[in-house]
Amino acid sequence: MSKVLVIGAGGVSTAAVHKMAENSDVFKEIIIASRTKSKCDAIAAALPDANIKTAQIDADNVPEMVKLINEVKPNLVVNLALPYQDLPIMDACLETGISYLDTANYEPIDEAKYEYSWQWAYQDRYKEKGITAILGCGFDPGVTSIFVAHAVKHHFSEIHYLDIVDCNAGDHGKAFATNFNPEINIREVTQPGKYWENGKWIETAPHEIHQPITYPNIGPKESYLIYHEELESLVKNYPTLKRARFWMTFGQEYLTHLRVIQNIGMAGIEPIMYEGKEIVPIQFLKAVLPNPGDLGENYKGWTSIGCRIKGLDKQGKEKTYYIYNNCSHEVAFKETGTQGVSYTTGVPAMIGAAMYLKNLWKKPGVFNVEEFDPDPFMAELGKWGLPWVELHDVDLEL
């Protein structure tokens, strides 16, 4: 009998808990705990047949988290709160001896910088305690890295060039909105670009490098080179990579809004004084922007995320390969009440948790998802709503 403690009650949590409830052979009992308990209750109310309990928690508070974990006694803690909570939740898991899974790497609240060093630093302590940390088990990071592991296991002897291509061709009908937590999203996409080439990181100005890329069943979309966290673990785990890049589509309207937001200082992460009260501009902005979890109802169109890889096949011959998933916002909403971006993150988080609970991805230490066997995960992905397509020896455009 498996019991999970899910932290956070936003869009990703809503999608993941829906899928956990559907997969009740594995997830017998689900406890959702978050800062605002009413949001946990709303998720539970939408799933009346599932065995779900809810609780209030400030996950930044390690002793409170330890108390909650000791009360609940879960088999796994699934962190679907924000990247700021990764370390306190990892600390609480370490203290209580419970394994951990998340979908985004740690980011300090006062510095828009994300890297794995903070979480990788737990490696020895998790190993000694005999517990597992599964890092970055959403879509990107998450499925994209598992796609790479699958490609290496089944099709390549060496991979040399990797381009992760992420297209959201959906339309939510709003002038400006972000698809997941606005604060985290805006911090991510306004960063300088960065990619790996010939053994070193090359930095670019934000959105400096862009070109049209053709996405299956969508067509060409202007795509921008940005830094994305899975590049860090992939170049470490696949040292044959000569180049690794990440591309994301943005519409002109989105970029114009983003530029204005930055130019007027609303993307700032430093606190400012407003009417005698300290506020952080980007947190205030989040409060006035549409809630990503509420975009689903009118969202039309598709996401398409995949990996384009060039290298040597098992016989040592040059090979190109493209593996991707297309996900419909409308289907995602119908199924879980969330839009495609929450869905494509929540489904892999549920499958990753199931991999641990079924003892398929269980080893002591801290791991990125590509360090586990991709086969059982890939076998589940289509079944739970994210079918994947492979194209061999095609023009990769990049």
Q: Which residues bind ligand NDP (CB under 6 A)?
A: 7-13, 34-36, 39, 57-60, 80-83, 85, 103-104, 138-142, 180-181, 184, 292-293, 341-342, 345
What is the closest distance, in whole angstroms, from the C-beta atom of residue 289 to ligand NDP in the complex? 11
Tokens, residue 317: 């011959």
For the CB of residue 177, give the shortest distance to ligand NDP in the complex, in Å.
Answer: 12
- 259 contacts: CB under 8 Å, gap ≥ 6: none
Closest approach of ligand NDP to the CB of residue 322, in Å? 19
Closest approach of ligand NDP to the CB of residue 65, in Å: 9
**Residue 61 Cβ, how far from ligand NDP at the closest point, in Å?**
8
Biggest CA-to-CA distance, the chain: 69
CB of 124 to ligand NDP, least distance (A): 25
Residue number closest to ligand NDP, CB atom: 10
14 vs 99, beta carbon nearer ligand NDP: 14
Nearer to ligand NDP by C-beta: 2 or 145?
Answer: 145
Taking the complex as a whole, the smallest distance from the CB of residue 101 to ligand NDP amounts, in Å, to 11
Task: Look up tokens 């988290």; give the residue.
Answer: 65
Nearer to ligand NDP, 39 or 221 (CB): 39
When the beta carbons of 11 and 170 are compared against ligand NDP, the nearer one is 11
Indicate the SS3 state at residue 262.
Answer: helix
Whose tokens are 């194209």? That residue is 391
Strands 210-215 and 219-225: antiparallel
- For ligand NDP, the closer of residues 156 and 185 by Cβ is 185
Give me the DSSP letters along 178-192.
-SS-HHHHHHHHTSP
CA distance 382 to 388: 7
Burial code (b: 16+ CB inside 10 Å, e: under 16) for 178-194 equals: bbbbbbbbbbbbbbebb
Of 132 and 345, the one with the shorter C-beta distance to ligand NDP is 345
Per this entry, what is the length of the chain?
398
- Measured CA to CA, the distance from residue 83 to residue 98 in angstroms comes to 19
- Residue with smaller CB distance to ligand NDP, 99 or 345: 345
> Alpha carbon 34 to chain centroid distance?
18
